[in-house]
Amino acid sequence: MAQNINYLGLLQRQIGSSKWDQWTALRWQYYDYVGYPAAGTTQLQFFIQPEGGTDPVTSLVKTREDTNVSQQRSLGQVYYVIQNIRTHLCLAPKSRQASAIKNNATLLFGDNGMNTGISKLAEIMRRGVLNIKLGQKAYFDIPYPLVVAPAGFGLEIQQTGSMYSTASQAALWLQSNPDRSLVFDVSPPQMIEPSQTFDVTIDYPTTSPVLTSLVNSADLLVRVGVIFDGYLARPAQ
């Protein structure tokens, strides 16, 4: 309730008088995941294809797993206050990888067959700049976003049974940082107003790492996400 009062107060100060006692602030995340081009890229674009659109990399229809926005470059008719910005990199499930990967019964995500791919993921995480514009104005410019603005969630696995037979293999386990205390805090919180357009990109000054023919001569499918974590203001029921 205290958070509701704080954020509704922010709305009142910025927008002016209204019947804010009839509104409530709901903790909410807006997210968008895109396929990472195996041949590398100079830019990843987020919040371009809403739910039901087609991911240009995978050519698959985007579901609620991929995004929860219904409009391109907009959150619709809502007031939204960004409290945290998170970025997330993950391997697509084995069942969604290329046939040469998903049909190999002996290939585990973490064994020697994936060593080259994991090292490429580490390279992706250490590169890029997250740029966020509201309207035409730059508001956030975060270098190495997958490190500086980690997801703050994920699996915490060090090893599983006898999968890792050497220390070097165990050291190759990689994931977005699951420590919630390290997420990128937006201070002061930033408001996105109804129908306000925005642009979210991860830009690479030089072409990003290539993932072609990495595992069993097949392209490795990787997904990258940007997540806004904050409060959604809407009329109370």
pLDDT (0 to 100) of residue 167? 43
pLDDT of residue 172 exceeding 50, the answer is: no
219 forms beta bridges with: none
Kind and range of the H or E run holding 23: strand 23-35
Query: For residue 104, is it within any domain?
Result: yes
Q: Token pair for residue 209?
A: 């790492």
pLDDT at 2: 45
pLDDT of residue 218: 87
Q: Going by C-beta distance under 8 Å and a sequence separation of 6 or more, which residues neighbour residue 167?
A: none
> What is the arithmetic mean of pLDDT over 99-112?
71
User: Cα-Cα-Cα-Cα dihedral of 119, 183, 206, 46, to 10°?
Assistant: 110
Structure tokens at 135: 């309207």
Q: Quick one: average pLDDT of 86-98?
A: 88
- State mean pLDDT over 75-80: 89
218 or 170, which is more confident: 218
For the segment 24-52, the average pLDDT, to the nearest whole number, is: 94
pTM: 0.84
Least confident of 8-22, 98-112, 161-175, 178-192: 161-175
| Residue 81, both tokens | 């206050």
Domain-embedded: residue 23: no
Domain span at residue 216 reads 28-157+164-232
Domains in the chain, number = 1
Instruction: Give 55-60's long-range contacts (Cβ < 8 A, gap of 24+).
Output: 58/221
Q: Tokens 């205290």 appear where?
A: 2
Predicted local distance difference test score (pLDDT) of residue 157: 54
Number of Cβ within 10 Å of residue 156's Cβ equals 8
Residue 93 lies in a domain: yes
> How sure is the predictor about 170, in pLDDT bands with cuts at 50, 70 and 90?
very low
Task: State the pLDDT at residue 158.
Answer: 52
Kindly state whether residue 7 falls inside one of the protein's structural domains: no
In the chain, the amino acid numbered 19 is: K
